[in-house]
A = this chain, B = another copy of it.
């Protein structure tokens, strides 16, 4: 069997790509396990060098990668160029983190032989979990793809990786993988450190999650597939963590004063965020709570105009087009939901879709929980109600990657109460901004309560993403020379360590 590159603009097939069989997945997992010992004991400097080498080689093939990814995704060269920059920045940021070394979270509790009972010397740091399975999504072929954040953070943590490339862009995955593999060879890292398996059969995914050598899985994709694989990971003889990022509707609340003061700017910003990448962002604001009244009416009218103006665009693949169509039809059938955007004619070639904006009342929204489910693509729902009741409804939302508040000074109390509610259903709360665009900074959290993610304690973006692939080990009573360098008295790595309740770079 073989996969094909397909141009979603035209439906035209590109070149075929070899499809893996389950035995290939098992072989990749075995090779990953074979790389564990060498890579976990590789000095942080070598890990850093590999990550930088990967970034440099991706940069060197930039125009080719962008060209291939654009053919397969229709996301456009500027966006893909930016995405590749994001991927290489992530690799270099993780390189800097492992070179610096404090990511092992060393904690020293020196012993006290005079205490009663005598207190042993106990020192703890983080060590790699083992081989990681990575599932990449269709919508970020580069930043969350084969060379994306999950691969970068797992390799940085000292874990070999087996990536299942998304069948929507197989040539892009192959090209990125070849580039990473060349970097592995160039720095003399163990072969088997990074593998790629490609194919559309669900058996491949199952085999990867169930491979005995795999110790954790990172997944970005749909709730349906994510939950199936999560269940398999939990049902293993030895269950493993499954870090799934399953999407979100990213509610936006607009305060009455904000709507009155800068309704046009909010509407334009919202439409831009909702339609970015033709609505195919996990952080797309798909659910907008607008207060009753004139100011809200005005925002809604401006939003409809801006969404209409976005026009027909190309989706990533025909599966997404079909599932969006089903989802839109279901929403259209709900009594009390109005379709406000024009029905724009959609040419039959390729995977095109027109933007859609619905509106409904808070009552209808609360009676129909399915309206709170994601429309993946260029579509959103506006919910109207009294501001106070909208804020109350926030307490009934499921887990979200993000939640946004637009508020002016006069919205003060309303907004403050809402903030408290939203911080407990979302992974990130945004103030007078828009949720798309997830800054790769140490303070970022990209995750959230289920179903936004399967493990709300971890992020897939930002420096702390590396923690998903590390576990603590305590060393008790070891002679200094046998301790990992991170834990030795003299602090030869010069890292930050927690000693006596303070983080310090001093020797102990």
> Which A residues have a C-beta under 8 Å from some C-beta of B?
40-41, 100, 102, 107-109, 117, 119-120, 122-124, 127, 129-130, 230-231, 234-235, 238-239, 241, 399, 415-416, 419-420, 423-424, 426-433, 437, 439, 441-445, 447, 449-451, 454-457, 459, 463-464, 467, 470-479, 482, 496, 498, 501-503
Contact = CB atoms under 8 A, between A and B. Distances in A.
A107 B442 contact: yes
A429 B474 contact: yes
A430 B107 contact: no
Contacts of A431: 475-479, 482
Given A234-B234, A445-B473, A449-B471, 13 more contacts: A40-B424, A122-B444, A124-B444, A127-B423, A234-B239, A419-B478, A419-B482, A427-B474, A428-B474, A447-B472, A459-B472, A496-B503, A503-B503
A498 B429 contact: no
A32 to B, nearest CB: 15
B238 A451 contact: yes
Task: Across the A-B interface, give the 4 residue pairs with the lowest CB-CB distance, nearest first.
Answer: A109-B443, A503-B503, A234-B234, A109-B441
A423 B476 contact: no
A496 B500 CA distance: 13
Given A457-B472, A473-B423, A443 B107 contact: yes
B450 A471 contact: no
Contacts of A464: 107, 472
Nearest to A416: B482
Contacts of A399: 238
A471 B458 CA distance: 7
A443 B497 CA distance: 11
> Which one of A122, A230, A399, A457 has the highest number of Cβ atoms from chain B below 10 Å of its Cβ?
A457
Contacts of A496: 502-503
Contact of A443 (B40, B122, B419): B122
A443 B473 contact: no
A426 B420 CA distance: 40
A97 to B, nearest CB: 9
A102 B464 CA distance: 17
* Interface hub of A420, A450, A472, A475 (most chain B Cβ within 10 A): A472
Given A119-B439, A456-B129, A472-B445, A430 B124 contact: no
A429 B454 CA distance: 31
A111 B251 CA distance: 23
B502 A439 contact: no
A47 B202 CA distance: 48
A474 B454 contact: no
Nearest to A240: B450
A297 to B, nearest CB: 27
Contacts of A444: 109, 122, 124, 474
A230 B239 contact: yes
B239 A433 contact: no
Contacts of A442: 107, 109, 498, 501
A470 B424 CA distance: 11
Given A109-B443, A442-B107, A430 B501 contact: no
B127 A443 contact: no
Nearest to A467: B457
Nearest to A244: B239
Given A120-B433, A127-B423, A464-B107, A443 B239 contact: no
Contacts of A129: 456-457
A506 to B, nearest CB: 13
Contact of A430 (B234, B420, B467, B477): B477
Contacts of A432: 477
Nearest to A435: B476
Nearest to A422: B473
Given A107-B442, A443-B123, A426 B241 contact: no
Nearest to A106: B443
A472 B427 contact: yes
